[in-house]
Amino acid sequence: MPADDDVERLAVPPILDLGFARLDTARGVRQGVPEAVLAEGKRPEHVAAIVAGLVEEGSETVIVTRADEVARAAVRAAVDGLEEDAEARMMWLRRGVPQPAGTVAIVSAGTSDGAVVREVAVTCELLGTNVAIQQDVGVAGLHRLAVALPDLRAADCVVVAAGQDAALASVVGGLVAAPVIAVPTSVGYGVASGGQVALMSMLASCAPGVAVVNIDDGFGAATVASRIARAAAR
Amino acid sequence: MPADDDVERLAVPPILDLGFARLDTARGVRQGVPEAVLAEGKRPEHVAAIVAGLVEEGSETVIVTRADEVARAAVRAAVDGLEEDAEARMMWLRRGVPQPAGTVAIVSAGTSDGAVVREVAVTCELLGTNVAIQQDVGVAGLHRLAVALPDLRAADCVVVAAGQDAALASVVGGLVAAPVIAVPTSVGYGVASGGQVALMSMLASCAPGVAVVNIDDGFGAATVASRIARAAAR
Amino acid sequence: MPADDDVERLAVPPILDLGFARLDTARGVRQGVPEAVLAEGKRPEHVAAIVAGLVEEGSETVIVTRADEVARAAVRAAVDGLEEDAEARMMWLRRGVPQPAGTVAIVSAGTSDGAVVREVAVTCELLGTNVAIQQDVGVAGLHRLAVALPDLRAADCVVVAAGQDAALASVVGGLVAAPVIAVPTSVGYGVASGGQVALMSMLASCAPGVAVVNIDDGFGAATVASRIARAAAR
Amino acid sequence: MPADDDVERLAVPPILDLGFARLDTARGVRQGVPEAVLAEGKRPEHVAAIVAGLVEEGSETVIVTRADEVARAAVRAAVDGLEEDAEARMMWLRRGVPQPAGTVAIVSAGTSDGAVVREVAVTCELLGTNVAIQQDVGVAGLHRLAVALPDLRAADCVVVAAGQDAALASVVGGLVAAPVIAVPTSVGYGVASGGQVALMSMLASCAPGVAVVNIDDGFGAATVASRIARAAAR
Amino acid sequence: MPADDDVERLAVPPILDLGFARLDTARGVRQGVPEAVLAEGKRPEHVAAIVAGLVEEGSETVIVTRADEVARAAVRAAVDGLEEDAEARMMWLRRGVPQPAGTVAIVSAGTSDGAVVREVAVTCELLGTNVAIQQDVGVAGLHRLAVALPDLRAADCVVVAAGQDAALASVVGGLVAAPVIAVPTSVGYGVASGGQVALMSMLASCAPGVAVVNIDDGFGAATVASRIARAAAR
Amino acid sequence: MPADDDVERLAVPPILDLGFARLDTARGVRQGVPEAVLAEGKRPEHVAAIVAGLVEEGSETVIVTRADEVARAAVRAAVDGLEEDAEARMMWLRRGVPQPAGTVAIVSAGTSDGAVVREVAVTCELLGTNVAIQQDVGVAGLHRLAVALPDLRAADCVVVAAGQDAALASVVGGLVAAPVIAVPTSVGYGVASGGQVALMSMLASCAPGVAVVNIDDGFGAATVASRIARAAAR
Amino acid sequence: MPADDDVERLAVPPILDLGFARLDTARGVRQGVPEAVLAEGKRPEHVAAIVAGLVEEGSETVIVTRADEVARAAVRAAVDGLEEDAEARMMWLRRGVPQPAGTVAIVSAGTSDGAVVREVAVTCELLGTNVAIQQDVGVAGLHRLAVALPDLRAADCVVVAAGQDAALASVVGGLVAAPVIAVPTSVGYGVASGGQVALMSMLASCAPGVAVVNIDDGFGAATVASRIARAAAR
Amino acid sequence: MPADDDVERLAVPPILDLGFARLDTARGVRQGVPEAVLAEGKRPEHVAAIVAGLVEEGSETVIVTRADEVARAAVRAAVDGLEEDAEARMMWLRRGVPQPAGTVAIVSAGTSDGAVVREVAVTCELLGTNVAIQQDVGVAGLHRLAVALPDLRAADCVVVAAGQDAALASVVGGLVAAPVIAVPTSVGYGVASGGQVALMSMLASCAPGVAVVNIDDGFGAATVASRIARAAAR
């Protein structure tokens, strides 16, 4: 049964095995993106042990996402030298951040989208792109968009963060020629609560060239956007 | 038990009773809007009998909505003199259309919204308002909005018909000072199919002054809009 | 590429740019409604800074909505002279409230709808309309409606706030000739919890002339209603 | 293992076994209601064979529900002597209809609810209750309710059939002292399509004394209502 | 416009108007059921004031439902002499409980349904029926049902409280001849969480004679059941 | 980058490549189950070409599922010698059916579940197990279960097919010691329509030892069940 | 009416009746699985009393699931000698754990699935199977799967625990010949939150031989898996 | 009010106004993508008139999507010289297709995804990229992926089309370094029907670098992918 052997032979890359976690330390090599540690849903001591393992292993860049204060404190206690950003709920160690190449513009519909904007910005920088930020550009006041437009049109990729009706994604999608990555945010109340309406509205966008990531997934948007921007700037 | 007597005493207005239907012939007096006959879901012979009853009873304006070809044929065979519009799926008899007063602007996001636009326009005219129509004004090409804007700003009420992401409702909501009545349409595919996303997006609109009616409910939007426009023009 | 120039030229109105927020100080001019600050979802220090900015900028009326005690305290510490209402979760500065014109009647189905009623009432007053309030008029006791009916029939616009089955919207919609703006409320348990059933029931209303806003969106209902009422009273 | 023996001993009542179906011919004895054959979803030849089996077996009353024209034709070809009603999509053989006892009032919100009203009425009669029917009593014209109220108040149980917002269930629930069984109907379009909104609205009813059955389940409503009415009339 | 006068004339029954609440003190007369105060969603001081108003007004039986400890303390501080039950989250004053007539059997699927069982039992007693309780009769152990069956078969109405798959409703529905009122409960996790699956499963029940109320609505079930049982015992 | 090489080395097993399809002819070796061709959603000519390819390739057993009359005709025209079953919507070629081992009992709640029962039975036989069938064992008549119980208790695995409330899964789950595989069926109307309620009810089952497959997925249930039964009979 | 007697005769097995609970002490005999006590949703004092009752009654193995710290403390205070596991939220008394037979492999997609993995593992051991655990085998790094594959292929049944997209279930389902029991976990955010996407993805799996249990239902998965594994090892 | 003027000045680009449609003929200039005509939901004569208008206007590339046979016939009758593809449901006129630059790899999970694959491929070619296609690469047979991997790794952007559990998106997302655009397809039955599960599964993907478009939106995916690929190849 040859398939069996094949899959077993796959195990060549060094895996750091902690029992409760197996760290894919070769991802940087394979995909050009360091494995990020999603802290939410993990026990703080597990997060700390994983980060410590990656740091000891010599991983170039280490990124922790969706880490609340408790998780960040556990990491801080276990490992020295990580930077952190409370609003983005991130921690990171820059050892191998590549030279910036390409530019990602980030535009948000409102002040409440700030945490997601911050997560996109920090991640993009860690993955080696330049960032331009334009916040609070709701479509209910179109002239605010005019201020933002030059930045959006100059970018290699535009990330739109918006909640509620997420109409900004369609409006921006109709104004720029670069790919648009849309991040629905969970801000809002009533039907807007949780971000499902923003998500669906973005997926149903009447503008061409818009692709969407999970609700509040600033890290995911940044990963796609920085790949696009770096490739465009090669 | 006095409540009992009271409710029984309510029966003063003349009701036209057909057994399977009771016609509220006094609605025109009570609410300034003739009772419309929703054909969909009714057997064609019932629709025809109801219309015949209303015409004989002397109702001023008679309106039939959501009437497919079969229903319209049944009415045509039973009653003479009704006008009809296949795209709007409507039939009507103008006996008491009031003098037009006020203006409703109708703006749609795409050609596919045409049937709803037509239903709004016919109804508004039958209820006594002037109508200005601007079609295919999707937000993915904002400059098309510029052509439409003077009409929208001149109106006493704006009706926005849009499917998919329905972003047009928010954009218009941010540009006009009159009340905006938004009608989600069921056009689109995938998540947009059926109009639920457009509905939710309109309800979650970040623009002030937008209220929403049922999916594809052009008649409902027109009823609200014409009340608003006529009152504003008094 | 002319579209580009156009959008850039849009930036004429003065925008107050705080980095995390861009204030549309011209909205009062453009739409007759001051920009309200939705506090929920924003960090308290951001809410306070936005309010301070608007006050300093000289905005006539400043309105803060959905502000819990923490947000209100932050504003209070930063700016003097705002009035507030804990039940409505609002704060405001009246500098340019117009002369009242027109009347909005507000009717609720139950005592639990009180917070939404209050938000509608305060907002209507700040936007320059007279208000008449009728609370706890559930349809399970129709005779209570009789007490409320004269107020409802005298108004230029009726706002109905109701949760659970929201049947009141349809009953009122059948009794008045003015436009009805329905606000679903999130009161209730089981299937009624969160207000989705009330919302859908209002959208499916069999009564003509009813339009709907987001769940618990008293501010939105008041914005539409006051536009309608003021125009009717011109 | 005694439980095993017990369940095996349960098999005392005679079961008519057709391979693809096992007929519970003792239900009339056990529950006072004959086993009804739900035709929808079954192959027409199976429906016919089941009915033939029940008739030969000597079952007193045989009832077939949700039978379209194809299914009814198959039954007609296989068995003589059944009555049928196309609107209710029912067929039946009256051999053991008990003396009528008690009264069920059936009230509907609109003409489109006619098929469900008919299914409730036929079933109630077959199960031995008197029936009073009041159709097209929508709450948007409350005075129509006044005509219906004496019948509703005289009944031992009231069945309310309504689609869309189903507000009639709450209004009736507040006016009568007998138990109310509510049947949501699938009439309507947009959010009302399929009857989910009517169902949820009835479950969330603010009126006491209302219980609900499945969408369009006239047979189920009639079964509950006739049990209530017959017991009350004992 | 005669309808107007009619509705105004409806106001004959004395309404106790507290501003934030209007008490339907005539409901006992009209429907044989005292108006219950749903505490959940109301401010504690409002609950207390409403109860005090009803007690002073001389209402015979006063019932408070879904009252947490805070609400109950507020009532206790305002009015003397109410009984209460923490598990059922109820308070009540028995002044006019009628002579018990008829019997309601209450059967639950599990221990976790205890709070709903208690709410049904207390309410049934206050409305004047006898109660027989059988708890923890899950269908996964059918022989437990055998112990409960004599009580269920002797009752005039059976209330089934069950969460998760709610299979008990169908099993009981197939074994008794009395009407079955099913209350879905919100116990369970994963897909069962919140009670929607139990609700839908009960509505889709393959057994005849089952009607359903809202999730966790023990008061509603008891209102229907006691009407049925009292009428059957007349 | 070693991972790359590894995955490429995986391609050892012979793949039959038709351009629009790649046939996993080694699955029988790897998993003991032949690759089945899901006809639904494929163009008939593609189905026929795939089947022809597998037959020519020498695959032992070939199975086609969810094949309507059009698809089956296309296969029939292209390849000789396949057996077929219209109710199960299946076609197959038995070249390597193993000796039957172990027994799967299939029990359904109603006659309408017949097509799924048939798909389970045919598949189980093709995968090498004995089959015992018990149909129309609804829980609303528990004594019917007694007839079926000996077969269910003698089996190595029990497949329960049920729609609507799917209560049978829980009842059977409480009576047998073998694993239970539950298949929700899409029969029923109103809330039961489409099988979502049956699916959720089975997942929420209060009985231990029940696992669930997709709605109407008789093939999937049979695959799991026959693996279980054959292993138990080794 | 013989059915009545039959069901009553079912009550032979000894039931331990605590009023609020009826303990099925014969389940071990009937199904080979001790009755587990689901603590969640029960009052702590009830959980403690049930456990005490089972222990006194002499039940061989006693299992408590989904018990938070409060519930566990109540049990600890009432009964001596139970083991417990905080991560699995379980307590148990091993009196009659059978000799291990057969092996269940448990594979998880991520560290966050650890609590469910633990619940599966503890339960499988208590039900008498050997366990092999492979954690954090996400499909985004397929080579990690290679490490796990030998364990998965050697097992009699594989349990896959995964949240988010749950793609691991399909990948494993395509690589092993044993039955796969999939447990969706509620880890993740945005659309993944609550585990519905993982559940649906597992049900829609394109791999043969996968059956699914409720979200986070490690106990349910273990019950099915251990039955399968023990039967296969007989 | 300066904003007004601004928006009016936006109307510079030439708009082709057909009354029911306004054609954005400048989109090619503004965004590098010709305006595509979505035929679905439009009346065939409207589609034909729009295409004729664009062709006469001199638009370089004209693309019609989701055009069934009726729509295509209408276009064919009205305009000469368009190419078409029935499986992709597309028509097009190549007048200005740019020199191909960059490569998009398209990989599908099954034969049923063929129509979407075709729509992606045709669109990518019209927008000026090279295309590499790998079909029927389901994860249930991982070795098939090995055949496809070199193409996927050589591409500037990978489009993954998959229905059901859509696990392929995550597996591919873990193996390539280029951005991945995922298109959920509506193939499948039961819970998979309509493509919602595939959509949600892709959004919840545990792999980095995946963004998602609407269900069956091959055109949307191709628009994003070709922008990415062309920019990367500059």
HEC profile for chain F? CHHHHHHHHCCCCCCEECCCCEECCCHHHHHCCCCEEECCCCCHHHHHHHHHHHHHHCCCCEEEECCCHHHHHHHHHHCCCCEEECCCCEEEECCCCCCCCCEEEEEECCHHHHHHHHHHHHHHHHCCCEEEEECCCCHHHCHHHHHHHHHHHHCCEEEEEECCCCHHHHHHHCCCCCCEEEEECCCCCHHHCCCHHHHHHHHCCCCCCEEECCCCCHHHHHHHHHHHHHHHCC
Percent of chain A with pLDDT over 90: 73
The token pair that represents C198 in the structure block? 């009330």
Say if D58 falls within a structural domain.
yes
- On the question of pLDDT at B190 being above 60, the answer is yes
Closest A-chain CA to H223: A209
Residues C57 and C122 in one domain: no
Closest E-chain CA to F168: E167
For residue F60, count other CB atoms closer than 10 A to its CB.
15
Q: What pLDDT, in 10s, does the model give residues C45-101? A: 999 999 999 998 887 789 999 999 999 999 999 999 999 999 999 999 988 778 999
Residues B153 and B83 in one domain: no
CB-based contact (8 Å) between B8 and chain E?
A: no
Q: Is B230 exposed, middle or buried (0-12, 13-18, 19+ CB in 10 A)?
A: buried
Please name the amino acid found at residue E117.
V
Q: Residues B124-161, buried b or exposed e (16+ Cβ, 10 A)?
A: bbbbbbbbbbbbbbbbbbbbbbbbbbebbbebbbbbbb
CB-based contact (8 Å) between D66 and chain F?
A: yes
Q: Rounded distance, CA H81 to CA H91, Å?
A: 10
Say if H36 falls within a structural domain.
yes
pLDDT at residue G5, rounded to an integer:
42
Residues G121 and G14 in one domain: no
Task: Report the predicted TM-score, pTM, of the whole model to 2 decimal places.
Answer: 0.94
Instruction: Kindly state the DSSP code that residue A216 receives in the 8-state scheme.
Output: T
Please name the amino acid found at residue G115.
A
Q: Domain span at residue E195?
A: 103-233
Q: Rounded distance, CA C212 to CA B33, Å?
A: 19
Residues E162 and E53 in one domain: no
Report residues of chain A scoring pLDDT below 50.
1-12
Q: What pLDDT, in 10s, does the model give residues G96-148? A: 778 999 999 999 999 999 999 999 999 999 999 999 999 999 887 777 888 89
Q: What pLDDT, in 10s, does the model give residues C58-68? A: 877 899 999 99
Closest E-chain CA to B32: E1
Cβ within 8 Å, pair E6-B1? no
pLDDT at residue E32, rounded to an integer:
66
Residues D144 and D221 in one domain: yes
Residues B68 and B143 in one domain: no
The chains found to touch A (3+ Cβ pairs under 8 angstroms) are B, C, F, G, H
- On the question of pLDDT at C5 being above 90, the answer is no
The whole-angstrom distance between B112's CA and the closest CA on chain A is: 12
How many domains does one find in chain H? 2
- On the question of pLDDT at H31 being above 70, the answer is no
Closest E-chain CA to D35: E208
The whole-angstrom distance between H62's CA and the closest CA on chain F is: 28
Substitution target from D4, D5, D6, D8 for chain G, most G beta carbons within 10 A: D6
Say if G98 falls within a structural domain.
no
Scanning C10-113, the segments in alpha helix (DSSP H) are 27-31, 44-57, 69-78
Strands E22-23 and E16-17: antiparallel
Report residues of chain G scoring pLDDT below 50.
1-12
Confidence of residue C11 (pLDDT cuts 50, 70, 90): very low
CB-based contact (8 Å) between H9 and chain C?
A: yes
- On the question of pLDDT at H1 being above 70, the answer is no
Q: At what angle do helices A2-9 and H142-154 cross, to 10 degrees?
A: 50
3-state secondary structure chain H: CHHHHHHHHCCCCCCEECCCCEECCCHHHHHCCCCEEECCCCCHHHHHHHHHHHHHHCCCCEEEECCCHHHHHHHHHHCCCCEEECCCCEEEECCCCCCCCCEEEEEECCHHHHHHHHHHHHHHHHCCCEEEEECCCCHHHHHHHHHHHHHHHHCCEEEEEECCCCHHHHHHHCCCCCCEEEEECCCCCHHHCCCHHHHHHHHCCCCCCEEECCCCCHHHHHHHHHHHHHHHHC
Say if B34 falls within a structural domain.
yes
Say if H98 falls within a structural domain.
no
Last-in-domain residue among F93, F127, F151: F93
Q: What is the CATH number of the domain that holds E226?
A: 3.40.50.1970
The whole-angstrom distance between G30's CA and the closest CA on chain E is: 10
CB-based contact (8 Å) between E10 and chain B?
A: yes
Say if E98 falls within a structural domain.
no
Say if A196 falls within a structural domain.
yes
For residue H19, count other CB atoms closer than 10 A to its CB.
12
Distances from the Cα of G142 to the Cα of A7, A16, C26, D66, F2, angstroms: 9, 14, 56, 52, 12
Residues G108 and G222 in one domain: yes
Identify any residues that bridge with D90 across adjacent strands, giving them in sequence order: D85
The predicted model gives H142-169 an average pLDDT of 94
Q: Rounded distance, CA E206 to CA F186, Å?
A: 14
pLDDT at residue B58, rounded to an integer:
80
- Split chain E (234 residues) into runs of 10 and give each run's mean pLDDT: 40 67 69 82 95 87 95 97 96 87 97 96 96 92 86 97 96 94 96 97 93 98 97 90
Residues H134 and H168 in one domain: yes
Report residues of chain D scoring pLDDT below 50.
1-12
When CB atoms are compared, the residue of C3, C4, C13 closest to H3 is: C13
pLDDT at residue C7, rounded to an integer:
45
Identify any residues that bridge with E218 across adjacent strands, giving them in sequence order: none
When CB atoms are compared, the residue of H11, H12, H41 closest to B112 is: H41
pLDDT at residue A4, rounded to an integer:
42
Residues A85 and A109 in one domain: no
The whole-angstrom distance between A186's CA and the closest CA on chain F is: 27
The whole-angstrom distance between C209's CA and the closest CA on chain B is: 4
- On the question of pLDDT at C124 being above 50, the answer is yes
pLDDT at residue D231, rounded to an integer:
95
Winning range, highest mean pLDDT, from B22-31, B147-156, C14-23: B147-156
- H62-65, strands of its sheet edge to edge: H36-38, H62-65, H90-93, H83-85
Q: What pLDDT, in 10s, does the model give residues F165-221? A: 999 999 999 999 999 999 999 999 999 999 999 999 999 998 889 999 999 999 999
Cβ within 8 Å, pair A12-G135? no
Last-in-domain residue among A62, A93, A124: A93
Say if B81 falls within a structural domain.
yes
Residues B64 and B142 in one domain: no
Half-sphere exposure of H208 (CA within 13 A, CB side): 27
Last-in-domain residue among H33, H58, H93: H93
Identify any residues that bridge with H212 across adjacent strands, giving them in sequence order: A212, H182
Residues F84 and F113 in one domain: no
pLDDT at residue C138, rounded to an integer:
85
The token pair that represents D87 in the structure block? 């609107």
pLDDT tens over chain F, length 234 residues: 334 444 444 444 556 788 888 876 666 656 667 778 999 999 999 999 999 999 988 877 899 999 999 999 999 999 999 999 999 999 999 887 789 999 999 999 999 999 999 999 999 999 999 999 999 998 877 778 888 999 999 999 999 999 999 999 999 999 999 999 999 999 999 999 999 999 999 999 988 899 999 999 999 999 999 999 999 998
pLDDT at residue D176, rounded to an integer:
94
Residues H63 and H122 in one domain: no
The least confident of C17-31, C168-182, C203-217 is C17-31
